[in-house]
Amino acid sequence: MQHFASDNYAGICPEALQALINSNTSGHEPAYGDDSWTTQVCDRIRDLFQTDCEVFFVFNGTAANSLALASLCQSYHSVICHELAHIETDECGGPEFFSGGSKLLTARGENGKLTPDAIEELVTKRADIHYPKPKVVALTQATEVGTVYTVEEIRAIAAIAKRRHLKVHMDGARFANAVATLGVHPSEITWRAGVDVLCFGGTKNGLPVGEAVVFFDKALAADFAYRLKQAGQLASKMRFISAPWLGLLDDDVWLRNARHANAMAQLMAERLVEIPGVSLLFKPESNAVFAELPTHVATALRAKGWRFYQFIGSGGCRLMCAWDTQRETVERFVDDVRTLAAST
């Protein structure tokens, strides 16, 4: 049975699995990334972004974000992010741990997005040594609430970051979904817009495990390989982390997977709003739908076996679609909502 709790509930997409299997046929391969598969994938990612950049593979998103941020700031610096950012709400203090104590300074913002003004306010609020000095702006693309920064929004944030000597980090756990939504070249919302480091998510897009950390500013990647090793993020049999990316990159499967998930979210949203008593909390611009259901409906859905996140004490629900979410699952879920909403 499929669920809408998380895009992590989905398995490995066929192409990634095949690439993994293929990489196991080449017999012995050097360990720790000195293998031919890893070299190939790094080159492919550089090609994808149309620029020379440093590419590293880590095991998950917490590590990707935390280590990227740690390479951008010291323990007495701070990171500006949205109050709903994953690094603030769902990494159990990972960024603080890996950086040795860097503080996250959170800002509010419509639709889960940071704004230049919010950043400016946080940067200029304090300028004394009793408060950690801002060094990084961290964006999430797509955001935690399913919205997507436009190219212009990212550029505007990068501009204020430049003026205030802040590095720009992008948490791209659902980067593919954002690119699919915007229909732009991936470089347009990263280095061409002023992003220094991208955590390029693979797991939610169909990989078994692993994210890529892409440093567009190569100087920031100095000794990053040592950092990964020390932090327990260097895979010995690296090919099994890197090679599956080939399954995503060949024939733009990564975009196809993202487009499908996005489309399922669109379908879900369109169907849900037709139901009396149901409303959307955010505009669904990627693969997430945030809907307000009557509380009893949400409860009843769970009783029927559906799994999804529900905000405590309300009918607010997060419904995530994955690369493998079936149209009929969406239809069936919506039917259940409709039926339950009608039967009060």
Q: Which of residues 96-135 bind a second copy (CB under 8 A)?
A: 96-103, 125, 129-133
- Out of 40, 44, 51, 89, the only residue in the binding site for a second copy (CB under 8 A) is 89
Nearer to a second copy, 55 or 189 (CB): 55
- Out of 52, 152, 223, 328, the only residue in the binding site for a second copy (CB under 8 A) is 223
* Tokens 């039917």 -> residue: 335
Applying CB under 8 A, the span of 14-22, 49-57, 298-306, 333-341 interacting with a second copy comes to 14-22
Taking CB under 8 A as the criterion, which residues in 279-308 touch a second copy? 307
- Out of 82, 169, 227, 256, the only residue in the binding site for a second copy (CB under 8 A) is 227
Note whether 24 binds a second copy by CB under 8 A.
yes
Taking CB under 8 A as the criterion, which residues in 32-61 touch a second copy? 32, 58-61
- Out of 162, 163, 229, 296, the only residue in the binding site for a second copy (CB under 8 A) is 229
- Omega before 142 within 30 of 0, i.e. cis: yes
Taking CB under 8 A as the criterion, which residues in 151-210 touch a second copy? 203-204, 208-209
* DSSP secondary structure letter of residue 233: -
Applying CB under 8 A, the span of 28-36, 139-147, 184-192, 268-276 interacting with a second copy comes to 28-36
The answer to whether 341 and 277 are in contact (CB under 8 A) is yes
**3-state DSSP helix/strand/coil percent for the chain, to nearest 5?**
45, 15, 40
Q: How far is the CB of 49 from a second copy (least distance, A)?
A: 24
What token pair was written down for 58? Answer: 């880590």
Partnered with residue 155 across adjacent β-strands are none
Residue 336: CB atoms within 10 A of its CB come to 16
Q: How many residues bind a second copy, per CB under 8 A?
A: 79
DSSP string for residues in 73-99: --TTEEEEEETT-HHHHSSTTHHHHHH
The answer to whether 113 and 153 are in contact (CB under 8 A) is yes
Nearer to a second copy, 129 or 303 (CB): 129
| Backbone CA torsion sign across 38, 41, 42, 43 | positive
Helices (H), 33-182: 36-49, 61-72, 86-89, 94-99, 116-125, 151-163, 175-182
Taking CB under 8 A as the criterion, which residues in 58-87 touch a second copy? 58-63, 66-67, 74-78
